[in-house]
């Protein structure tokens, strides 16, 4: 089983477009266009696999730094979801999802990822993992969720068929002794 993380940074873009001469404030989320590996060419949050000895929270912070160059204080990361992806009835990936509104630095591209700030209302779900549209909107609204998503058809996961899912919303996510 692969243990992985995703991290969604949010900001308010106050420049807005003017609508009826009013300033519109728009919430934006930092997505990446993945340049290589699993899910290449699709949008997702920064994230990746846990390294040996690393907690999920440490992994989310490291991957966000490596992929897009933002620095996040561990205390500012909020656990938002725990997602289990099965492939042909076996657990393939367990993913810890975090969200934050506090970070330092400017997003910059890396070999792995091209970052893009996207209005929360315009997330390109048609260019993302098929399951994202089911759980990401709630996560971007500040909710918590535990989800299980079943894929079938063999490796690689990003070419398998998404067949069913189960979601439990507004759960308390345990911050384990060495997790969080």
Ligand X SMILES: CNc1ncnc2c1ncn2[C@@H]1O[C@H](COP(=O)(O)OP(=O)(O)OP(=O)(O)O)[C@@H](O)[C@H]1O
The CB-of-120 to ligand X minimum distance in angstroms stands at 17
Q: Which of 8, 43, 85, 98 binds ligand X (CB under 6 A)?
A: 85
- 47: phi > 0 → left, psi -120 to 50 → alpha, else beta; which? left
Q: Which two tokens stand for residue 41?
A: 């060419």
Q: Nearest Cα to 152, choosing from 93, 91, 87, 92?
A: 87
Q: Alpha-carbon distance 165 to 99, whole Å?
A: 22
SS3 134: helix
Q: Is 67 in the site for ligand X (CB under 6 A)?
A: no
Q: Which of 30, 32, 48, 81 binds ligand X (CB under 6 A)?
A: 48
How many other CB atoms sit within 10 Å of the CB of residue 44? 19
The CB-of-92 to ligand X minimum distance in angstroms stands at 7
Residue 20 CB partners (closer than 8 Å, separation 6+): none
Q: Is 132 in the site for ligand X (CB under 6 A)?
A: yes
Q: Residue with CB nearest ligand X?
A: 37
Site string for ligand X, 148-177 (x = CB under 6 A): ---------x--------------------
Q: Nearest Cα to 128, choosing from 140, 142, 146, 145?
A: 140
The CB-of-42 to ligand X minimum distance in angstroms stands at 9
Size of the site for ligand X (CB under 6 A): 16
Judged by the rule CB under 6 A, the positions of this chain that interact with ligand X are 4, 6, 37-39, 44, 47-49, 85, 93, 95, 129, 131-132, 157
């Amino acid at each position: 089983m692969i243990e992985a993380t995703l991290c969604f940074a949010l900001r308010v873009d106050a420049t807005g477009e003017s609508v009826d001469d009013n300033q519109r404030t728009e919430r934006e989320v930092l997505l990446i266009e993945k340049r290589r590996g699993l899910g290449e060419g699709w949008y997702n949050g920064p994230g990746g696999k846990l390294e040996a000895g690393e907690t999920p929270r440490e992994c989310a912070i490291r991957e966000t730094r490596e992929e897009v160059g933002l620095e996040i204080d561990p205390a500012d990361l909020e656990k938002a979801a725990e997602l289990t992806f099965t492939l042909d009835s076996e657990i393939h990936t367990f993913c810890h999802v975090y969200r934050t509104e506090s970070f330092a630095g400017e997003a910059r591209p890396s070999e792995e990822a091209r970052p893009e700030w996207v209005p929360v209302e315009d997330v390109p779900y048609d260019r993302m993992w098929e399951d994202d549209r089911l759980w990401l909107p709630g996560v971007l609204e500040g909710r918590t969720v535990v989800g299980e998503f079943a894929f079938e058809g063999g490796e690689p996961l990003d070419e398998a068929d998404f067949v069913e899912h189960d979601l439990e919303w507004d759960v308390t996510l345990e911050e384990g002794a060495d997790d969080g």
